[in-house]
Amino acid sequence: MAHKVSDECVACGACVDTCPVGAITLGDTKAEVDAATCVDCGACEGVCPTGAITAE
């Protein structure tokens, strides 16, 4: 199960540096999680300051 990013994302990049497998990239307005790469570790959820990342 991958994680998803809601519109609450402010594209701060905290999750990008935290992801151990590089599954997160920053788009123009928010982060994006590559479901095929995500290992569902949850590290990104813990560092997101707006709570925009949740398990799908």
Q: Report residue 21 as tokens.
A: 């497998």
Domain count, the chain: 1
| Burial tier of 41 (Cβ tally within 10 Å: 0-12, 13-18, 19+) | middle
pLDDT at residue number 56: 83
3-state DSSP assignment of residue 15: helix
Count CB atoms within 10 A of the CB of residue 28: 5
pLDDT at residue number 40: 93
pLDDT tens, residue by residue, 1-56: 789 999 999 999 999 999 999 999 999 999 999 999 999 999 999 999 999 999 98
Range of the domain at 21: 3-55
Q: Which CATH number do you get for residue 43? A: 3.30.70.20
